[in-house]
Structure 1
């Protein structure tokens, strides 16, 4: 990958020696992902735009759906271009496109132009930029890859919790179109400014503090020469699909399940989403930290076990059992956030870290499949069977399948001394 190669003794990160300065790259990466994660706050813009453009409920979801599709499509494509163009140029281009999408959305006067601006352009920018902070964190923290990536990606998970109230306040004060314009300009300036700092260390750089001899990553490390020919890739891909499918299915029905099954107040159901989002964010550094210390399959099995517990709780849930509802959906959101840290850190563990950008881009296609199916199936089950309760049966079955797949496939192709 491109990097500004310097004499290691002269190397500085934000004016500090690299061992100290590298920690400042994490909050900068979090900031970039906070901006990108605002794409998940579409519901804040949806209602005012629906009224202003005279849209149906289905039409008003189109920009958001298209944004997620282009985000998922651009991730694997961009992974192959990051080594060619470098992390700084990729971040700057992606940030410019994200901002441009929001700015053009502020001028859209029909659903087609809104879908192109917010869906195609913003979604493309998010897909281009999303992987860069994780690549940078992984390369600067060879001794703490899981923790560094997990901390960085927390920005994307907590973004709706932070940027959605900000966007709502702006809409209340200035209406929706000026809000989109302000956010677009702000995101463009922030991401492009940070892009100049998103550089990689020299190829052979290592922290001065030696990696612990008790680390679960042995030396030398075996990596399969062809990821797509490795059984562990397919194990990871299937596990990631299951994790995102279940998590996004649950996220999509969080409020209606509380209103229908538990019969709680709609405002309480909507407010509980903030609690769930907190668990979704906190789980990312936790799962990253766990991935540094335990084989990936053990962490994955723990995640699926929590999902299975949540499914059992909701299958048996009845009216008025608010605690059951809150515990179950905290677990669902917690595990989804966990998988968004576990998948990239497992990619680092099982496959050559030098090819991480390309490798995780390919692995990330599992998220696209899980997201597409997860947003469609739960609602369809409700339509078919008349209750959201039946959605938790296939989720539980998938959790059991995930445990089996992780046990047999989510491990290195060759046995490692400390991995069993």
Structure 2
């Protein structure tokens, strides 16, 4: 892509900054050091954002550590009463996602103030520091320390690393916000494609008669991910206030939900639009994550396939999750965010209702097709949401507003897997064949999507009285 020129006003802004030295020289991490010069190529930003998201997206591949973590003492097999259990280890994943939402919600305003570089550096320290603390927890065999390391500290790093690149990308791509956010969030969805095989290879390399290799794997991954996140932090830039891509002229009269105005965080999160979109995201994620989290087991139970096939199916869904983030979010630039969510909910409800039919016919190809489409829309919902927020509330406090909305993800991360696990277990215990145990869950997920559809249809433009009346959005 050729470099894109900033406007004359933007050049003047940069010159003014250089002619007016601050009272104290800005540090390397200061927001002022990240303002892009005239002629900066905005297409350098997506690789920087993707580098960060590919690292923190490792959380999706945490399941490869589940079994080895239950054999830390016994090494070759679990020692009852001394080794951890799968449910105990599984809480690391849930705590990390809960902390992702909480940290993004409570630190969003701070992220807007300090800028993306310092935020990504802080996120790298937390996420990679969490891996190092988890390594120490394995060495000491301390479950509490494992929760604090991978779950709490690592989860804070997830939240910081998630929202900073996204809000920056939206500012660089006012003409194609869906494509921009899809490029970054595609990296998060694909993090498991790197993190899971890397974790397996490292554990294999470090495994010995006295170690399952997890402790050493966490250390190496922490160092590798820190280097990659630093690349993202020092590559990323923010545009000067008022910057527009060359040749881009905003429509004189915005269409539909799209606004050229800004709404402050204090007003935005109190509007009906925010909470309707919160439910929209929560329903979409609840329906998708329940299937994604148990993909291998569901496939094995429904069709009696071996574990290796179930694992391959889980990997295929990761690809669908990753590609859906780019394809669906890019499509939203043409049919609108509200329209694309209508597609997610209507088509998704139909697909979920068809899954029991695929099971009854024992059609594995049909089942794979249906679930791949479902998970692609699950990923697409994540990538489309930041652009939806930009349409409704502008870019002034986009990172902070997005941070608060992500609490819907935290809620869904608990609801989805628990609904799938408890309903299927209850049905099996009451005599329902294992192959049919998930059918009721599929119908429930379809109903949840229809709830999301109703909320999506109720979303209207934000009232003009809530629009920020001062200067245009700052970068």
TM-score, reference length from structure 2: 0.81
Corresponding residue for residue 359 of structure 1: 401
Secondary structure at 2:174 match in 1: coil
Are positions 1:326 and 2:368 aligned together? yes
Are positions 1:195 and 2:233 aligned together? yes
Corresponding residue for residue 34 of structure 1: 54
Are positions 1:382 and 2:401 aligned together? no
Q: Which range moved further: 317-326 or 161-170?
A: 317-326
Corresponding residue for residue 270 of structure 1: 311
- Residue 222 (structure 1) shift: 5.1
Q: Which range moved further: 279-288 or 215-224?
A: 215-224
2-structure distance, mates of 1:7, 1:184? 40
Cα shift readout 1:186-210 (whole Å, capped 9, x = no counterpart) = 1122213431232311111111222
Corresponding residue for residue 159 of structure 1: 191
Secondary structure at 1:205 match in 2: coil
Cα shift readout 1:379-412 (whole Å, capped 9, x = no counterpart) = 1101222211111111111122222222222x32
Cα shift readout 1:156-211 (whole Å, capped 9, x = no counterpart) = 00110122112211111122211110111111222134312323111111112224
1-structure distance, mates of 2:350, 2:328? 18
Are positions 1:221 and 2:260 aligned together? yes
The equivalences for 1:71-150 within 5 A come to: 71-108=100-137, 109-110=140-141, 111-150=143-182
Corresponding residue for residue 64 of structure 2: 44
Partners of 1:262 and 1:325 within 8 A in 2: no
- Residue 14 (structure 1) shift: 8.5
Secondary structure at 1:138 match in 2: helix
Corresponding residue for residue 61 of structure 1: 90
216 and 152 in structure 1: CA distance in 2 versus 1, 3 angstrom threshold: farther
Secondary structure at 2:64 match in 1: helix
Corresponding residue for residue 203 of structure 2: 171
Structure 2: gaps spanning 5 or more residues = 1-9, 19-32, 74-82, 207-212, 429-436, 465-475
The equivalences for 1:288-327 within 5 A come to: 288-316=329-357, 317-318=359-360, 320-327=362-369
2-structure distance, mates of 1:275, 1:86? 36
2-structure distance, mates of 1:75, 1:275? 29
- Residue 29 (structure 1) shift: 0.8
Greater C-alpha radius of gyration: 2
2-structure distance, mates of 1:62, 1:24? 37
Partners of 1:97 and 1:121 within 8 A in 2: yes
Partners of 1:287 and 1:299 within 8 A in 2: yes
1-structure distance, mates of 2:361, 2:293? 20
Secondary structure at 2:303 match in 1: coil
Partners of 1:264 and 1:322 within 8 A in 2: no
Are positions 1:6 and 2:6 aligned together? no
Are positions 1:239 and 2:288 aligned together? no
- Deviation above 6 Å: which 4+ runs of structure 1? 8-16
1-structure distance, mates of 2:380, 2:259? 28
- Residue 9 (structure 1) shift: 13
Q: Which range moved further: 352-361 or 317-326?
A: 317-326
Residue 218 (structure 2) aligned to one of 180, 183, 189: 180
TM-score, reference length from structure 1: 0.91
- Residue 212 (structure 1) shift: 6.9
Cα shift readout 1:46-85 (whole Å, capped 9, x = no counterpart) = 2112101411121121222221211121111121101222
Corresponding residue for residue 397 of structure 1: 447
171 and 215 in structure 1: CA distance in 2 versus 1, 3 angstrom threshold: farther
2-structure distance, mates of 1:200, 1:178? 37
Q: Which range moved further: 228-237 or 345-354?
A: 228-237
2-structure distance, mates of 1:217, 1:91? 34
- Residue 135 (structure 1) shift: 1.3
